[in-house]
Chains A and B, each alone.
Chain A
Amino acid sequence: MITGMYSAATGMNAQQHKLDTISNNLANVDTTGFKKSRNEFADLFYVYAKQTGSPESNISGSEGPVYTGLGVREVRTTRLYTQGNIEKTDRPLDVAINGQGFFRVVLDNGGPAYTRDGALHEKNGILYTSAGHAIDGVNVDGVASVYDLIVTQDGIVTDSQGVNYGQIALYDFTNPEGLKSIGDNLFLESDQSGEVNALNLGLVNTTLAQGFLEKSNVNAVQEMVNMISAQRAYELNSKSITTADNMLQTVNGLKR
């Protein structure tokens, strides 16, 4: 049958994946610390009916090849760790990371996970993220009120009396784009991400901002434009299929 039909089907599939990604980005436009994703595509292989400069080409005198491409495949989904917008909230337990790095939390199974979500809550002296995972390194037991807490740019937690409650540590990876997402704004270390390093906030261009929240890095306008273009590209590919189908119908009309 006409191979173009199958190429077009791979194209529709690719656009469908793209739309899935866009929908997820848009759904999380208001998720604190969310990082958007994008799909990356590559052309599939090519079938050569004639090689460059092959003897067959003497018929027509051209040395060029004759080939058919077989469509497209998705090769990677990349999460983009650009800085999200910082929103001023004036809430003392809202802490935004301005720069690289992640908070480390403890999962129910005791293992570590990483997040950019800085909307923290206090319970029995432990600081939890909004998804309910404890931040390690800090215990504010004994503080009069959470409104009395001061988080410095380096993450040191004190109160107005100068009592030190520990430091909110930040961690980074050689390749954050390789982290594994597990939902709840959490990321896990993976083979791709490389080893985790504790960030020394005095040495890198990262600061913590108390009273601020990092929103998602999703740009709604850009996502809408991407959505429009994905839909149109989907339709274009379906037109290839209709054309191929009409041609097959024409073939059927050859013999009455």
Chain B
Amino acid sequence: MLRGIYTAAMGMLVEEAKVNTTANNLANVDTAGYKKDSLVFSTYLKQEIYRTESLSEEQKRSNIGKMESGVVLDESQAFFSQGAIEMTNRQYDFALQGDGFFTVEREDGRQYYTRNGQWHRNSENFLVDSVGNYLLTDGGERITINDQIFVASDGSITQEGVLTGRIAVVQFDDNTGLRKVGDNYYSQTEFSGEPEQNFSATVVQGGYERANVNAVREMLNLITAQRHFEITQRVVTTEDQLLDAAVNRVGRV
């Protein structure tokens, strides 16, 4: 069969993936601390093409060029640029400015990392996130609220005039190695490296970080994905017409 029909079909599949990713970015346009995803594509089965001349004893081969026979989805990457900070003047809203993550502990002791800055005081007076998991200090302890709290830009918490701890802000060797697990969480993997104390990011109390999704860029993604999808569909139908001609008309005089 014609090779191009498969190449074009692969192109259609990656454009579908692009629309899925864009749709997810747009759905999370109001998710606090959400980081947009983008896709990386690469060519598949790259082949070198040679011309073979057998004029002499030895076959002489000269390189014509290379041909790719497809495109595949290579990688999904979260894009960790700073989101806008919305000021709310609510004492349990914290935004991170700069690279870094808050550390969150689940009831079962598993730790996750997040940029979501909407915290709450629960019935046991612990500081928890929107789904009820605990914010940790740099000593790995949960944060107890007794009174109004003041959070300095380095994350240190003051209650009733006494320093009661410091919010853990961690960074990783490679943020793109983190794994997205939903609920605004990232989990550590061997590719992200170990979490390390971050001293450069600042904590802003009274505001939270919005998603870094850019509507214009996402719309462009949708338009290009749709048009490219249509073009590759045209390639498939053209190849089909060629096949039709080859199968049904070559034998006819």
Contact = CB atoms under 8 A, between A and B. Distances in A.
A42 to B, nearest CB: 5
B17 A75 contact: no
Q: For chain A, which range describes its interface: under 10, 10 to 19, 20 to 34, or 35 or more residues?
A: 35 or more
A63 B76 CA distance: 10
Contacts of A18: 30
B26 A8 contact: yes
B24 A233 contact: no
A75 B130 CA distance: 6
A52 B191 contact: yes
Interface string A50-94: 001100000111111111111110011010101000000000000
Interface string B63-94: 00000000011111100000000001110000
A16 to B, nearest CB: 12
Contacts of A193: 123
B209 interface: no
B216 to A, nearest CB: 10
A236 B77 CA distance: 22
A233 B211 CA distance: 12
Interface stretch (A118-126, A138-146, A247-255): A247-255
B233 interface: yes
Contacts of A15: 30
B76 A244 contact: no
B168 interface: no
B73 A49 contact: yes
Interface in A209-254: 230, 232-233, 236-237, 239-241, 243-244, 246-247, 250-251, 253-254
A93 to B, nearest CB: 30
B130 A7 contact: no
Task: Name the 6 nearest CB pairs between A and B, nearest first.
Answer: A11-B27, A64-B75, A4-B23, A69-B24, A45-B182, A240-B23
Interface of B: 12, 15-17, 19-32, 34, 37, 40, 42, 44, 72-77, 88-90, 116, 118, 120-123, 125, 130-131, 145, 176-177, 179-184, 189-191, 215, 218-219, 222-223, 225-226, 229-230, 233, 236-237, 240
25 contacts: A4-B19, A11-B26, A11-B27, A45-B181, A52-B177, A62-B74, A64-B74, A65-B75, A65-B76, A66-B74, A66-B76, A67-B180, A68-B20, A70-B24, A75-B131, A192-B123, A236-B29, A243-B223, A243-B226, A247-B15, A250-B229, A250-B233, A251-B233, A253-B237, A254-B236
